[in-house]
Amino acid sequence: MSSVSSDLSQTRWFLAGMRGLFSLPAIILMVSFVGFSAFALESGISRSEAMFMTAMVWALPAKMILIGTVTSGANLLAVFLAVSLSSIRLMPMVASLVPEMRTSRTPTWLLLVLSHFVAITAWVFAMGRFKDVPREGRVAFFAGFGITLVTVNTALVGVCYGLVAAFPPVVAAVLFFLTPVYFIASIWATGRQSVVKIAFVIGVVSGPLLALLVPGFDILIAGLGGGTLAYLIDRYLVRSEKPVPIPDAATEEVI
């Protein structure tokens, strides 16, 4: 009987995750994928290729890099390295999200599968909603949201691929640009640790400068260098200034 009750609970949380498709992050991402459809069409990428990229690569910036390197005539190894380096930025998101949803009974293979769906949208949505979801229901909740979001956007790219040809280029660009604008604000709002906000500021400042100084390596340098610098600032300047709590007399007696 308890097994049946557990299955029903997991199904309920999976459906709750699916309803996240109607949240603001998901809606903005879907609008952005309409812009991606226009970009794929203009770049000579076929409908099936664009849909395959959406399902397999998933992260929107990685797909942009993939199309950009392919259309520029780069060889396969260069394309692979460019997309891989872009996707490394998602590793900290996976590392911070998995401990929030795993339990002692969660199989590793399931976490590996679900890590495919971790991108900025899923990370912001999950980190904001997990506080209202019991730990035993978080894997099902995230699976419902991630699987639904990828499936719907894959279908959306296929449907909109032919329609966006009638869009003025500026409209497609605005649709595509909604995602970074929204998630810049969201990441700042959901950042709980001081190191996150320090890294955010460093990235915003150094990113455009590095793009001018060392184009092609700007993301890598800003990510590794900026993240390291943010950690050092937080470790030795911010946290070192915080006063260490002094136990009261009652605590000392107990100890």
Contact 47, 164 (CB under 8 A): no
If asked whether residues 218 and 153 sit together in one domain, one would say no
Q: Is residue 96 part of a domain?
A: yes
* Predicted pLDDT of residue 193: 74
If asked whether residues 138 and 166 sit together in one domain, one would say yes
At how many degrees (to 10) do helices 218-233 and 194-213 cross?
A: 150
R_g of the chain, CA atoms, integer Å: 21
Q: Please give the Cα distance from 199 to 227 (Å, whole number).
A: 6
| 3-class secondary-structure state, position 28 | helix
User: Among 6-20, 111-125, 211-225, where is mean pLDDT lowest?
Assistant: 211-225
Q: Is residue 188 part of a domain?
A: no
Contact 92, 67 (CB under 8 A): no
If asked whether residues 206 and 81 sit together in one domain, one would say no
- Of 140 and 211, the structure prediction assigns the larger pLDDT to 140
Q: For the chain, what is the domain count?
A: 2
Written as six digits, the tokens of 100 are: 């929030």
Chosen domain end from 152, 182, 212 = 182
What is the rounded (10 degree) CA torsion for 56, 57, 59, 64? -130
- C-beta neighbour count of 44 within 10 angstroms: 10
Q: Is residue 254 part of a domain?
A: no
If asked whether residues 18 and 126 sit together in one domain, one would say yes
If asked whether residues 177 and 198 sit together in one domain, one would say no
For 156-181, the pLDDT digits (tens) are: 999 988 787 677 777 777 776 776 77
* Burial class of 237 by CB neighbour count within 10 A (0 to 12, 13 to 18, 19+): exposed
Q: Is residue 251 part of a domain?
A: no
Mean per-residue pLDDT, 123-152: 93
* Predicted pLDDT of residue 251: 44
Q: Is the pLDDT of residue 244 over 70?
A: no
* Predicted pLDDT of residue 189: 65
Written as six digits, the tokens of 98 are: 């998995």
Domain range spanning residue 129? Answer: 2-182
44: left (phi over 0), alpha (psi -120 to 50) or beta: left
If asked whether residues 202 and 173 sit together in one domain, one would say no
Judge if pTM exceeds 0.75: no
| Residue 31 binned pLDDT confidence (cut-offs 50, 70, 90) | confident
